[in-house]
Chain A
Amino acid sequence: MKILFWLLFFGMIFFSGCNGQSGRKKPLISPPTIITTDETTPIPIYNIYIENSGSMDGYVEGVTEFEQAVYNFLVDIQNNNLTDSLNLNYINSIIIPNRPDVADFIAKLEPATFRQRGGNIASTDISQMFGAILKETNNNCVSVFISDCVFSPGNGQDAQQYLINQQIGIKRNFALKLDHNNLSTVVLQLSSKFNGKYFNRLNQPFQISAQRPYYIWLIGKHEFLTNLFDKISKASFKGGGVQNFYCAYNSEKSFDYGILNFPKLGTYERDKNSPKNKIINAIKSDKGMHIGEFQFSVGINFKYSLFDNDYIIDENNYKVPDNYTIEVVKNNIVNSNYTHIIKLTTKSLKTENVNIKLKNKLPQWVTNINSDDDTNINAKGELNKTFGIKYLIEGIYEAYKTKNNNKETFFEINISVNQ
């Protein structure tokens, strides 16, 4: 009898378990390498390049949103101590340095000054400009290129062939640079009043006064760019603000993520040994309008990703198992580690590894803002578009994709779901 009770006692202590766990042990799965900013990130040099070809005159005629946005951006860079050294340049066929006085630089953003600065302002070779900028870009600086990014094939040129050649040139320039430098590239699309001559693909001038898109490119180490956007939000850009955004970078990074205990349908527990990526005791919902469904949520921190929020929350940019549907929402819960919540729902719950991938593809706005023929700039919708911009951005996209071993995804995470 005594022995029986001692056996019962020790048996309860050591062999019982409601979920097979016995407290915290060393995790079975190593956490991914987390992308964050380094608080000791060195201060880079900022090299600013403003295109001063003839097509840019309309942006600087009088006081325009272009000047306001650029001036405010440069001042913000200085005020936030993002650099100790801000170099100001014009660029067309050559780079033309200017003295590093931001106020003076902005005050002289006028068509007359553009012509005085020299170089070939009659045409725009975007591939050549990027080549020149990339040559000056290294791991210790951030290059900022501001341009309307309108290609100028000129009269007599096959526009399509010209654009493809430009795209190949841009792709080559970036690919060569990325072989030796780990750089990210960001493009911001803004809009400004344009009052002047617009030169179409045949180099024919059109006098227009309208809102036109322009672009601010940033090329530099990822940490420098995340630090910049941490201090200068996209919402703080003057002159109408940032309307569209795209970032290309080395995709061999991952983001902090973890399973959340809500929102959910049904019930589940986080595995004590792997709480971030393993679910146990998953049970479908057995009541209400969601009877038979199972949903779990994963929080993910995109704070230092430079992904545009519109891109993140578009479920078409994700690949998940066929038996799951996905919804991504921005997370505004204070004190949460995560910027977004991924909700996965299924009607056929089973034990499996749920693989979630964020696709690496160009955002839709690139296609929407692209013009294939600006012969008549006054045609409906053309004023808001940029001739050939898709070729430019695709060239950069393909250079990065090649560098990333042609991966179709920015990242992927695996959640083990166990019933």
Chain B
Amino acid sequence: MGTIYCWFESLFGQDLAEHLWGWDMGTQDYTKANQFNTIGLYMLVVSIFMVVFFYYILNHPRFNRWWSWSLILGLNAGLNFLYAWLITLSDLSNNFISDDLVYIRDVNTNQIVTQKLSESNCVYFGIANTLIACLFFIIFSFTVRWWSKNCSTCPYPN
């Protein structure tokens, strides 16, 4: 899953990507958990659930409209944004991200020269996760809608 998230690395930054890959300053290797897989799995599960919910649980003629579908798409996007944003923000706030990814320090004095990684990177990662979630929602929609009794022509007729 990390490879898919890498499409948006320029959005949320290489340093946050390194953290999510599992970079550990202590071992100088990727020895921490690969969070791309965790976040990606959550994104897939939520997206599939939202699709199944719309087409097979909700499954009502009243909702066989493109805007109903869009609402569910938006809800899926929102949930995935929140999850990705809060996970990374929590890591940043609790100093779980390796110091060498967050700051550039002066090698002589150990003083912070620049902060490379901030809350905005977490927001952008949330946006990246949202975009990927939307993509999978659309793909799942067009793969499973065919058997829906009342919503198979949503968001548009075949």
Contact = CB atoms under 8 A, between A and B. Distances in A.
Interface stretch (A16-24, A192-200, A217-225): A16-24
A16 B107 contact: no
Contacts of B6: 17-19
A8 interface: yes
Interface string A244-264: 000000000000101011110
B26 A332 contact: no
A22 B107 CA distance: 33
Contact of A337 (B15, B28, B110, B139): B28
What size tier do the contact residues of chain B reach?
Answer: 35 or more
A2 interface: yes
Interface string B43-62: 00000000000000000000
B139 A24 contact: no
A276 interface: yes
B105 interface: yes
Nearest to A264: B104
A2 B9 CA distance: 30
Nearest to A258: B28
Nearest to B10: A18
B4 A12 contact: yes
A379 B154 CA distance: 101
Contact of A8 (B23, B139, B146): B139
What is the predominant secondary structure among interface residues of chain B facing chain A?
helix
Contacts of B7: 16, 18
Contacts of A21: 2-3
Interface in B103-140: 104-105, 107-110, 136, 139-140
Contact of A333 (B4, B105, B143): B105
Nearest to B116: A262
A341 interface: yes
A5 B29 contact: no
A263 to B, nearest CB: 7
Interface in A262-320: 262-263, 267, 269-270, 272, 275-276, 299
Q: Which 6 A-B pairs have the closest CB atoms?
A: A18-B6, A258-B28, A17-B3, A5-B143, A5-B142, A333-B105
Given A24-B30, A272-B21, 15 more contacts: A9-B140, A12-B4, A16-B4, A17-B3, A18-B7, A256-B28, A260-B100, A267-B14, A269-B14, A275-B30, A329-B107, A330-B107, A330-B108, A332-B110, A335-B25
20 contacts: A1-B142, A2-B142, A12-B4, A13-B4, A16-B4, A21-B3, A22-B2, A23-B34, A258-B28, A260-B100, A261-B101, A262-B100, A263-B107, A270-B18, A272-B30, A329-B108, A332-B108, A333-B107, A335-B26, A337-B25
